[in-house]
């Protein structure tokens, strides 16, 4: 049976996700919802979508949807995830799942109470690159991990999305892009026990750049860095007792990596790319929902809770607060 998708919020990322759905044979985008009927109609026309809703609520008046992808700015995730869950529809919600830990806890609580599928769209967890990196690490290829550092930066110039600088829309580098280095740290070193932060905040109290040191239970260190001041390599360097793994730019996408052993030439791993990379998370959601599962095993709701506990602590240490917090 064809899997029916809906999308709420028709901005930049919604368009990329919709492009990737087209590459999945048994997936179909059947409904889109926007705050504007005009934008919904135009988006639906671009993607051959049968139902265009002029409000988010009206999405549920159309054809059956098996899952909704929430692609609005961070601040509206809570409200829209709850809207979907109350309608009994599975949700894939863009990262960050919530603005803070309390919001994420609320969403997770509702999803578990209603027994409806919910997943944070941490697409990097689902790429073939990540799968191979984990496979090699688990096989002992680089030995025990000693530490890692990862970065993500881009030049947010005058043409950049306004939401990046707007506290009312959850702006700043950490929640937008810094989340990826923090995620990788969690994946490889677990929840940090000790965090130190150095941030550069703008006149609205938003982090344009943030450096985070994360020490895990065994004392191992991870370093995560994000900035809106310039383009960084966006790579991850993972140091093991036997070898290093250099995860090449941009590590959070379907990307390439090398294993470097002392005296040996690098062992390179290349991955083909025939979509934007959101197809992998979409397929994971489809498999879960079809099987009647309410969480994903690779990126569970507990994983999201840990990630947001860390992100919220980092913001507290840096003094980054959003309106209403």
> Minimum distance between the CB of residue 39 and ligand NAP, rounded to whole angstroms?
5
Rounded-to-integer distance, Cα 126 and Cα 129, Å: 8
Tell me if 197 sits within 8 A of 321, measured CB to CB: no
Burial string for 180-207 (b: 16+ CB within 10 Å, else e) reads: bbbbbbbbbbeebeebebebeeeeeebb
Burial string for 154-171 (b: 16+ CB within 10 Å, else e) reads: bebeeeeeebbbbbebbb
> Minimum distance between the CB of residue 160 and ligand NAP, rounded to whole angstroms?
10
Nearer to ligand NAP, 72 or 216 (CB): 72
Among positions 20, 66, 94, 295, the unique one binding ligand NAP when judged by CB under 6 A: 94
> Quick one: which of 251, 245, 243, 256 has its CA closest to 224?
251
Alpha helices (H) along 159-233: 173, 179-189
- Selecting among 12, 95, 162, 283, the annotated active-site residue is 95
Nearer to ligand NAP, 78 or 137 (CB): 78
Nearer to ligand NAP, 216 or 234 (CB): 234
Among positions 124-163, residues that touch ligand NAP (CB under 6 A) are 161, 163
Q: How far apart are the first and last CA of the chain?
A: 44
- Which part of the chain contacts ligand NAP (CB under 6 A), choosing from 67-75, 125-133, 146-154, 202-210? 67-75
Instruction: Tell whether residue 71 is a contact of ligand NAP (CB under 6 A).
Output: yes
Can 28 be counted among the known catalytic residues?
A: no
Instruction: Tell whether residue 36 is a contact of ligand NAP (CB under 6 A).
Output: yes
Using CA of residue 123, residue 189, residue 213, residue 238, what is the dihedral sign? negative
Among positions 62, 73, 178, 240, the unique one binding ligand NAP when judged by CB under 6 A: 73
Burial class (CB in 10 A: 0-12, 13-18, 19+), 109: exposed
Instruction: Tell whether residue 320 is a contact of ligand NAP (CB under 6 A).
Output: no
SS3 content of the chain, % helix, strand, coil (to 5): 40, 25, 40
Q: In the chain, how many H helices and how many E strands?
A: 9, 14
Q: Which 8-state DSSP code applies to residue 229?
A: B
Half-sphere exposure (Cβ direction) of 18: Cα atoms closer than 13 Å: 24
Q: How many residues bind ligand NAP (CB under 6 A)?
A: 22
- Which part of the chain contacts ligand NAP (CB under 6 A), choosing from 31-39, 148-156, 221-229, 289-297? 31-39
> Minimum distance between the CB of residue 73 and ligand NAP, rounded to whole angstroms?
5
- Which part of the chain contacts ligand NAP (CB under 6 A), choosing from 46-54, 68-76, 82-90, 193-201? 68-76
Among positions 5, 51, 60, 123, the unique one binding ligand NAP when judged by CB under 6 A: 123
Instruction: Tell whether residue 192 is a contact of ligand NAP (CB under 6 A).
Output: no
In the stretch 250-289, what mask flags binding to ligand NAP with x, by CB under 6 A?
----------------------------------------
Distances (CA, A) of 313 to 5, 35, 143, 192, 228: 34, 33, 30, 10, 21
Nearer to ligand NAP, 137 or 228 (CB): 228
Which residues have a catalytic role annotated? 95
Residues at the interface with ligand NAP (CB under 6 A): 9-13, 34-36, 39, 71-74, 76, 94-95, 121, 123, 161, 163, 169, 176
């Amino acid at each position: 049976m064809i899997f029916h998708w809906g999308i709420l919020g028709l901005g930049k990322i919604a368009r990329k996700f919709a492009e990737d759905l087209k590459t999945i044979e048994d997936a179909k985008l059947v409904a889109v919802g926007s705050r504007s009927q005009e934008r919904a109609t135009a988006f639906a026309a671009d993607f051959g979508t049968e139902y265009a809703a002029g409000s988010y609520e009206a999405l549920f008046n159309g054809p059956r949807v098996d899952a909704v992808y929430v692609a609005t700015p961070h601040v509206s995730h809570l409200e829209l995830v709850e809207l979907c869950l109350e309608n009994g529809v599975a949700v894939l919600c863009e990262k960050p799942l919530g603005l803070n830990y309390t919001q994420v806890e609320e969403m997770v609580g509702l999803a578990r109470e209603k027994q409806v599928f919910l997943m944070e769209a941490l697409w990097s967890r689902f790429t073939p690159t990540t799968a191979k990196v984990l496979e090699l690490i688990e096989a002992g290829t680089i030995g025990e991990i000693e530490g890692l550092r990862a970065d993500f930066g881009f030049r947010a110039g005058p043409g950049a999305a306004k939401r990046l600088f707007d506290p009312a829309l959850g702006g700043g580098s950490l929640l937008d892009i810094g989340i990826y280095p923090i995620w990788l740290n969690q994946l490889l070193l677990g929840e940090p026990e000790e965090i130190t932060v150095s941030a550069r905040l703008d006149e609205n109290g938003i982090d344009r750049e943030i450096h985070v040191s994360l020490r895990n239970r065994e004392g191992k260190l991870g370093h995560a860095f994000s900035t809106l001041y310039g383009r960084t390599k966006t790579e991850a360097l993972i140091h093991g007792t036997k070898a290093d793994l250099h995860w090449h730019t941009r590590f959070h996408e379907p990307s390439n990596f090398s294993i470097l052993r002392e005296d040996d030439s690098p062992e390179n791993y290349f991955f083909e790319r025939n979509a934007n990379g959101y197809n992998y998370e979409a397929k994971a959601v489809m498999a879960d929902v079809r099987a009647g599962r309410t969480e994903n095993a690779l990126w569970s709701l507990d994983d999201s809770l840990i990630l947001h506990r860390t992100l919220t602590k980092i913001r507290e240490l840096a003094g980054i607060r959003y309106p209403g917090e």
